[in-house]
């Protein structure tokens, strides 16, 4: 099926084969989004991240409607911390360190309540969940193999935080040959200025790492009258 048109984006509109496009939602976990989690222990104001939830939810609903591959990631570590480098655990002066008991269970540990994805964006059957020990979603995970298996060439990337795990993942993806479109309103940072600069870094220099678009543009592109190719799910 032919592609039906271009997605509005900066530095320029981008034509995507929707059947080779996945929605990649980075680390929308309670540990980053809610009080008492990893993000707050680092001294951050977690309320800064709430603005990304509704735009992601809208794109997620559209992706589900069209059968697009959806991949969720979660940053976290094994209970014995064997995949947590001491340099990460020891860094800074957080109120609680990775692995310490907190109000949502042990901080940033797989299987704990705080490690899970927020209810508004909770994965459904058929969606991929990638557990990652690092900032980048490709490092020490099966993400590359999964994307290859589904024939994915393009990524719609959203999640938190813009300048940390979103940027790191986009850089990793860029080097692996994926076209990355980052959804500006579907990302957020504890530092609004870092959010803004994190997006600028992606789209500067002719789109050195990719494109920046937003949820409204994706919803327009995926609407039934525009997205004749979005039924990727029929081939899975």
List residues near ligand TIU by CB under 6 A. 27, 32, 42, 75, 135, 160-161, 164-165, 190
**In 3D, which of 180, 156, 141 has the Cα closest to residue 70?**
156
Which distant-in-sequence residues (6+ apart) come within 8 Å of 15 by Cβ?
3, 5, 6, 7
**Smallest distance, Å, CB 191 to ligand TIU?**
8
Least Å distance, CB 69 to ligand TIU, is 21
Nearer to ligand TIU, 105 or 133 (CB): 133
Catalytic residue among 31, 116, 131, 132: 132
- Verify whether residue 175 is a known catalytic residue: no
Nearer to ligand TIU, 66 or 161 (CB): 161
Catalytic annotation present for 27: yes
Helix 192-207 with 167-175: angle, nearest 10 deg = 20
Please give the Cα distance from 214 to 85 (Å, whole number). 35
Give the span between the Cα atoms of 233 and 236, in whole angstroms.
5
CB of 61 to ligand TIU, least distance (A): 23
- Closest distance between ligand TIU and the C-beta of residue 168, in Å? 8
Query: At 74, phi and psi to the nearest 5?
Result: -135, 125
**CB closer to ligand TIU out of 195 and 203:** 195
Which CB atom, from 165 or from 230, has the smaller least distance to ligand TIU? 165
Q: Match 């994307």 to its residue by tokens.
A: 147
Q: Is 132 among the residues known to form the active site?
A: yes
Number of helices (H) and strands (E) in the chain: give both, helices first. Answer: 8, 10
Catalytic residue ranges: 27, 132, 165
């Amino acid at each position: 099926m032919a592609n039906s048109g271009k997605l509005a984006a900066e530095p320029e509109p981008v034509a995507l084969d929707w059947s080779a496009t996945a929605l990649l939602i980075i680390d929308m976990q309670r540990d980053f989004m809610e009080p008492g989690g990893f993000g707050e222990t680092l001294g951050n104001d977690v309320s800064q991240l709430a603005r990304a939830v509704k735009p992601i939810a809208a794109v997620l609903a559209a992706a589900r409607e069209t059968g697009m591959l959806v991949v969720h990631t979660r940053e976290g570590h094994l209970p014995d911390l064997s995949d947590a480098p001491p340099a990460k655990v020891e860094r800074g002066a957080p109120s609680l360190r990775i692995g310490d008991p907190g109000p949502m269970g042990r901080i940033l540990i797989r299987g704990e309540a705080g490690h899970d994805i927020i209810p508004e964006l909770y994965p459904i059957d058929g969606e991929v969940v990638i557990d990652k020990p690092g900032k980048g979603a490709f490092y020490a995970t099966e993400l590359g193999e999964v994307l290859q298996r589904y024939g994915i060439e393009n990524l719609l990337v959203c999640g938190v935080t813009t300048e940390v795990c979103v940027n790191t993942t986009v850089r990793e993806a860029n080097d692996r040959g994926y076209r990355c479109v980052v959804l500006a309103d579907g990302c957020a940072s504890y530092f609004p200025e870092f959010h803004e600069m994190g997006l600028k870094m992606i789209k500067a220099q002719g789109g050195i790492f990719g494109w920046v678009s937003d949820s409204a543009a994706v919803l327009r592109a995926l609407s039934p009258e525009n997205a004749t190719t979005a039924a990727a799910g029929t081939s899975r």
